[in-house]
Amino acid sequence: MTSSDSEKRFEFAKRLVRDAGDLALGYFRDLSSLKVESKGLQDMASQADLETEELIRDRIASAYPKDAFFGEETGGLEPAADQGLWVVDPIDGTACFVAGNANWCISIAYVVNARIVFGLVYDPARDELFAALRGRGATLNGAPIAPAPATDLTQGQFSVGFSHRSKPEQVVTVIDGLLRAGGMYVSSGSGALGLIQVACGRTIGYYEPHINSWDCYGAVAVLREAGADVCDAEAGNGLTQGCEIIATAPGVTAEFAALLAAAKAAAKG
């Protein structure tokens, strides 16, 4: 794929994610009519999730019929070699969404040969579009962003995410370590939003024992281009099975790595 092909898709994706945001925001403003189904413990899907994903999928199929698609609600297949793949979460933070809490967003990433080429995270309730194309830097509504200049864990808030795919002790020991180090933790209810806050310096880190690719790939692209440290989310079977996610402002990377190692040892012991 040429850089021109990537740029065209990137510009297309920026328009698409805003249109999808408008659709989802319409449902958010009238939750009384929303149909919601449970997918498991503390995991749900709504009519808005499905229709937003269908809008994204249909637009991509029309514009780029040779590309593959992998979405939270409608699934998809792993791409062939050199085939572009769109990885989509139509509403990340559905539990927040259906409760009337504005901590939700839309995440879109484009992947070729198991590497993220670009990513977008759009927060419709706040009209904030985070976007990054590999090698071109990261932006918030068109303005460059960068991680916080923190040099230790006492100099900002650290976000910790959790789903019941993981064990509680996997985050309890991390939170304990953060507090004992003089830090503070927060949790937004949306992995993509939690991650993106690191890219723009609102928090100094994000950790979650397991996260799905559609929840994090858009944010990972932005984190990398913004200059944050982030783990290799595409490694192994990260696309289909998810991964542990770690993102930090560079000045706290080493300190958090030591804290996390100690926390994992404590969780096992």
pLDDT of residue 43: 45
pLDDT of residue 76: 78
pLDDT of residue 1: 66
Buried b (16+ CB within 10 A) or exposed e, 230-255: bbebbeeebbeebbebbbbbbbbbeb
pLDDT of residue 100: 93
pLDDT of residue 164: 78
pLDDT of residue 42: 41
CATH fourth-level superfamily of 3-144:
Fructose-1,6-Bisphosphatase, subunit A, domain 1 (3.30.540.10)
pLDDT of residue 37: 63
* Spatial contact of 192 and 130, defined as CB atoms under 8 Å apart: no
pTM for the whole structure: 0.93
- In the chain, CATH 3.40.190.80 sits at 153-268
Residues 6+ apart with CB under 8 A from 216: 107, 191, 192, 195, 233, 243, 245
pLDDT of residue 212: 95
Question: Span 153-268: which CATH code?
Answer: 3.40.190.80
pLDDT of residue 111: 97
- Average pLDDT for runs of 10 along the chain of length 269: 89 98 93 66 68 96 96 80 94 92 97 97 98 97 98 98 87 96 94 97 97 97 98 94 96 98 90
pLDDT of residue 205: 98
pLDDT of residue 41: 44
- In the chain, CATH 3.30.540.10 sits at 3-144
